[in-house]
């Protein structure tokens, strides 16, 4: 059981992911369309710098930043305030 759908997100998108297209997000009680705002941005967070980050923009203006092989590296509200940021990545053996 997550808190306010915060522990997981299911995204349905055809591959390759295309900037400017819409994808469906499935939550606990609802689903909705979100915009793939970018697939090429370089984003710096406390854990480091990530290239080709996928940015999802939700209907309310909030954004999720996803890095290949890592997952969500940053989340912002509709005003750009960061409420989740990756601070470290532990490399596997």
**pLDDT tens, residue by residue, 38-55:** 999 999 999 999 999 999
pLDDT at 3: 44
* Distance, first Cα to last Cα, the chain: 31
Residues in the chain predicted with pLDDT less than 70, given as ranges, are 1-12, 28, 93
pTM above 0.95, yes or no: no
Q: Backbone phi, then psi, for 88, in 5-degree steps?
A: -160, 150
**pLDDT value for 10:** 63
Torsion of CA 31, 37, 39, 44, to 10 degrees: -100
Model pLDDT, residue 90: 83
Residue 26's pLDDT is what?
75
**Beta-carbon contacts of residue 82 (< 8 Å; ≥ 6 apart):** 74, 75, 76
């Amino acid at each position: 059981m997550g808190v306010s759908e915060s522990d997981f997100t299911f995204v349905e998108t055809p591959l390759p992911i295309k900037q400017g297209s819409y994808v469906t997000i499935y939550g606990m009680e609802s689903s909705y369309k979100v915009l793939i705002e970018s697939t090429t941005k370089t984003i710096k967070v406390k854990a480091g710098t990530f290239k080709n980050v996928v940015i999802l923009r939700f209907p309310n203006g909030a954004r999720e930043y996803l890095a290949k092989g890592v997952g969500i590296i940053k989340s912002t509200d509709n005003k750009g305030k960061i409420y989740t940021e990756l601070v470290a990545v532990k490399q596997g053996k």
